[in-house]
Amino acid sequence: MSAPAEGAFEKTAALLRMRARQGFPFSGPILTAQTERKLKAFSFFNFLPDLRYNNSMKNITILGAGSFGRAVCGLLERKGYAPRLWSREDDIREYVSGADCAIFAVPSQAFREVYTKAAPYLREDALVIDLAKGIERGSLLRLSEVAAEVKPCHYVALSGPSHAEEIEKDLPTTVAVCSAKLQFALDAQELLMTDRFRVYTNDDMIGVELGGALKNIIALGAGVSDGLGLGDNAKAALMTRGMAEISRLGIALGARPETFLGLTGIGDLIVTCTSMHSRNRRCGILMGQGVPAEEAAARIGMVVEGIPAALAARDLAHRAGVEMPITEAACALIEGRTTAKEAMTALMTRDRKAE
């Protein structure tokens, strides 16, 4: 029997480790019957103890001292780590040099700037975890694409229903981490997971990043609906039809449909559209009450990611030839071309069609 291709055992071992952490046996859908027979023929399972995962990350820096950065800092401290929390007043070189892991907790539109400053000092093998959910205005790049353009790295996106206020209180939270390479996602999973912060892995980078970014637009719309006093039926419709247009764009850009049914899709959408922790929903409520978008965002006092996300998503949708009526209505309201009542009426009086 010929030897397996170079790297095959390493890849399969990583998959097996992931499956074991998720409570599944080693056999089943993750391995084809043919692959399993070959592995057994090579007595591969005898070597599993030698492939046990070992996380040696000790030097961790969190870039961004906002609410999410502080919440993740507290989470890591509860695990026994001693992360360093960087803010804009600090010397980024001092904080990043030698770090095993750099966690970026800055707004999506600031990610390029901060990553560009940090990149020269990042170790080649450092794990980079990004907590931001957005699409870069102008370039229309997802944040993993921004990182790859500036300096390729061991990039991991974290997404899912995860309000910083609840992580900080150590309330049960579940998220997903996604990377182009499974091992990087496993590294992040091992680093962050606790009995109160459950972390799944995912490999659909397009779906995970778009789901996290685009749900903020729908949360703005849900807030507008609440600000207008339109009731539960209207908000449920916005959330449902919002997920339909998120999925349409995502699939057109190469995402897997099932990703939008998971934590980084419907899970994140639910929490962002219904919670008063959601700055996007709170901004939308003000906009529904007649406050201009810019003033509403200023009153929130923190970055409202749904505003730049809506404008970027509209441009992406036009490029891809995808219809996104809720996003279009949100943009018209943000740009002052319509009122909240007019936007809702326009959505409700669109041409009849099948669901």
pLDDT tens string 175-200? 999 999 999 999 999 999 999 999 99
CATH number of the domain where residue 159 is located: 3.40.50.720
Residues 47, 86 within the same domain: no
- Statement to judge: residues 147 and 229 lie in one domain: no
**Does 246 reside within a domain?**
yes
Which residues fall within 8 angstroms of residue 165, CB to CB, at 6 or more apart? 67, 71, 277
40 is an active site residue: no
37 and 143 inside one domain? no
Count how many domains the chain has: 3
Q: Is residue 1 part of a domain?
A: no
Residues 224, 222: Cα–Cα separation, whole Å: 5
Last residue of some domain: 203, 222, 254? 203
Assess if residue 323 is contained within a domain. Answer: yes
Specify if 22 maps to a domain: yes
pLDDT of the residue at 2: 41
pLDDT in tens, 128-139: 999 999 999 999
- Rounded-to-10 torsion of CA 246, 265, 258, 33: 150
The full length of the chain comes to: 355
Catalytic residue among 11, 169, 215, 353: 215
Residues 68, 173, single domain; the answer is: yes
CATH classification of the domain holding 252: 1.10.1040.10
Q: How far apart are CA 98 and CA 93, in angstroms?
A: 9
Is the domain of 188 the same as that of 219? no
Sheet holding 197-202, edge to edge: 84-86, 60-63, 101-104, 127-130, 154-159, 173-178, 197-202
CA gap 144, 51 in Å, rounded? 29
Query: Is 169 inside a domain boundary?
Result: yes
- Is pLDDT at 13 greater than 70 in this prediction? no
Residue 156 has pLDDT above 90, yes or no: yes
How much is the average pLDDT of 266-276?
A: 97
Average model confidence (pLDDT) for the chain?
88
Q: Which of 148, 180, 203 is the last residue of a domain?
A: 203
In a domain, 355, yes or no: no
pLDDT value, residue 144 = 98
Global pTM exceeds 0.85: no
Q: Are residues 159 and 251 in the same domain?
A: no
Burial of 355 (0-12, 13-18, 19+ CB in 10 A): exposed
HEC profile of 195-217: CCEEEEEECCHHHHHHHHHHHHH
Is the residue at 331 inside a domain? yes
Q: Are residues 75 and 167 in the same domain?
A: yes
Angle between helical axes of 325-334 and 205-228 (0-180°, round to 10): 60
Distance spanning both ends of the chain, measured CA to CA: 54
Q: Would you say residue 27 has pLDDT above 50?
A: no
Q: Are 176 and 85 members of one domain?
A: yes
C-alpha 155/C-alpha 192 separation (Å) is: 15
Domain that holds residue 18: 8-51
User: Are 148 and 283 part of one and the same domain?
Assistant: no
Could you tell me if 43 and 78 lie in one domain?
Answer: no
User: pLDDT band at 57, cuts 50/70/90?
Assistant: confident
Helix 340-348 / helix 205-228 crossing angle, nearest 10 deg:
110
- The amino acid that residue 261 corresponds to is L
CA pair distance 111, 86, nearest whole angstrom: 14
Query: Scanning the structure block, which residue is given the tokens 């919440």?
Result: 71
